[in-house]
Amino acid sequence: MRKQVGYFAGGFLVILLTIIISYQDGHENGEKRMVAVLGNAVYNVWESYYEIVEDSNREMTIDSISRMNDRLISVKAYSNVVDRTVGEEVLLPIADKLLNIGKVIENNYRENGNLDKEKYKETVEEIEKVNTLLTEIYYIPNSEGKVNLK
């Protein structure tokens, strides 16, 4: 009888250890996946903002405004991913505000043929500021692009 209890206890211990190790591996892999998703989303936000700033050095046309708005739609989606991952709504309201401004500029042009160059310039300047803050807040310094989950 003692032998059977010993086998049972030993088997139970092996199963318990397997479950604990499996849980720990799953937790570590889950965190790695989350960091990878966050890193990808932060990079895509940064890159889209960067491309908007680069495009602003060219002549302002309705096409450049439309491209900016398309990129801001992408930024909004990736900002949602970042905000949900870190648990704070920071980037999404900014992207939403910038997209609304871009749409106003585009709609004004479509209605009366006027491109509000001053509003466009202010928007691009805000995007530059946000992009600088983005790298300071979400990237770990001297880590070759690792993101901060906090």
Give the rounded percent of residues in the chain with a pLDDT score beyond 90: 46
Task: Give me the mean pLDDT over the 9-38 stretch.
Answer: 66
The closest of 41, 25, 33 to 84, measured between CA atoms, is 41
| pLDDT of 19 over the 60 cut | yes
> Per-residue pLDDT tens for 46-55?
999 999 999 9
Global model pTM greater than 0.85: no
Assigned domain for 124 exists: yes
Q: Which pLDDT belongs to residue 108?
A: 92
Q: Which pLDDT belongs to residue 70?
A: 94
Assigned domain for 123 exists: yes
- Split into its structural domains, the chain has a count of 1
pLDDT category at 148 given cuts 50, 70, 90 is confident
Assigned domain for 149 exists: no
Range of the domain at 122: 35-138
Assigned domain for 82 exists: yes
The closest of 85, 69, 68, 72 to 45, measured between CA atoms, is 72
Assigned domain for 45 exists: yes
Assigned domain for 83 exists: yes
Assigned domain for 67 exists: yes
The three-point CA angle 111-113-119 to 5° equals 90
